[in-house]
Structure 1
Amino acid sequence: MERLQAAIEKARRERDAGDPAPRPPAAASAAAAPPPPRDDTAWDALARISFDRRVLRRNRVVTFDGGPEAGPYDMLRTKLLQRAKEHGWRRIAITSPDSHSGKTTTAANLAFSLARRRDMRVLVLDLDLRRRALGRMLGQRVVHTMADVLEGRVRFEEHGCRYEENLAFGLNGAAVRNPAEVLQSRRTAEVLDEIDAALSPDIVLFDLPPMMATDDSFGFLRNVDCALILAGAEKTGLDLIDVAERQVAELTNVMGIVLNKSRYTDGAYGYEQGYY
């Protein structure tokens, strides 16, 4: 992990030395403004859902009930909240340089970890529209897609679902044929603002496609306050991490880079069972 971080820092220094011009600041998000007083009408209208613990466990969602196995994700949650509070960030994208880095698993685990903070209202939107990975991971089936919501065919109150009183999801029932056009449209930005205003979440997590796989995320990232980049240990190359970080930084703020799927964490952070 230390070697990875050192290599990333070296790549950053070399890149910055070759390009002394300051980077343009990321576009300010309307979501950075203090949320208005809550009206629970739209939140209460969302359909209630339940989860099968066996399905969650099989799909490596370990934060549903908390406990020792949730420790690493809880630590990530706390660091995420600290950075978010420090900078006034609420809309947080989760992406990766390439596929199979565990970003959807991380999004699901962060969702339940955040929701165990009962004073927080959390909204999770699956905008990896080429598949229905988050819904499948959670054992949920829905009729529509987030594209139906973003293009105005279905209201989010009719599509979204919530667990207990402070966690809501926008999932996909099928793959979408034109995800890049949907995510990059002006209408999408408007609908997200409408959802934000209606539900008044404290944190919104967006599960986005990998940066190198498609152009879906490029036009969308300007709609978020920051992005968390997931890299797969022994899989995602340093060059890909550097390129992804540079691309994200051109569009929004980089919250951080998380090394996922590491097998060498015994004893880290006080844990002895290697939960990553």
Structure 2
Amino acid sequence: MKNRLLPLLLTATILSACSPKITSRYAATNKVYSEHADSLSHTLLAESPAMLTDSLGRSVPSEFIGTVNFNLRKPNYVIIHYTAQDSLGQTIKTFTLVKPQVSAHYVISKDGKVVHMLNDYLRAWHAGVSKWGSISDMNSCSIGIELDNKGNEPFSGAQMSSLITLLAKLKKDYNIPTANFIGHGDIAPGRKPDPGILFPWELLAQKGFGYYSDMLIVPAPANFDSATALRLIGYDTRNLPAAIGAFKRHFVQREESTRLTQFDLDVLFNVYKKY
């Protein structure tokens, strides 16, 4: 049994340890990556039974019997960020230092270059304290994509072209639902604004990555409950003004505020019906 399972269990290690090197300049950090992946592989290969005791301190009989039916867990969300740094190089440096304790699966430069920094099946540290719907650990179920952008500038055409190409691959590879392409600001309202008011969410929605409001908007009914609508979309409404601000950055993109105008309510009504 063990011999049959070993090739499957080693799949994660092979995937994570064999990523192509960016340049020899990062040989040292690539070595750390491989060593860390190797360490995780030992965890995957562990066959220790659960060590349990009852309320009286007596050992509960247990053993490990490996099932033959399993595979790797797959990501179900894509979270888009901007780097808020000066260059692709600066972001790569940040993600190859231990102290910042941040990372992402991909970084895309202004000229469209895509840098893959972590195997898609592994857990990056990009979402931080966040919540979407009932999920409070977005790092464990998502892929993080960082765009080289300070947050106060338009996103380049080359960068968007590469992003759309990458999103198409991820959506196909992992069967990610259309609704599950969102921004860091959506899952961390009041804490993070990225990818910001200048990000072209409408363009992404046209390509099948996330939702956006229609051109013709049906007015919201008089009894429309905006807080409930925001919550049903996925927003954490415990801080309602922050959730409103996050929604407006993504779906209205006309002003930075936490107040819903009648137009905003109409947009919210239009969007929430898609979820």
Fold shared by both chains (TM-score > 0.5) = no
- Using the size of structure 2 for normalisation, the TM-score is 0.33
Choose between structure 1 and 2: higher strand proportion. 1
Higher CA-based Rg: 2
- Using the size of structure 1 for normalisation, the TM-score is 0.33
**Greater relative CO (CA pairs within 8 A, separation 6+):** 1
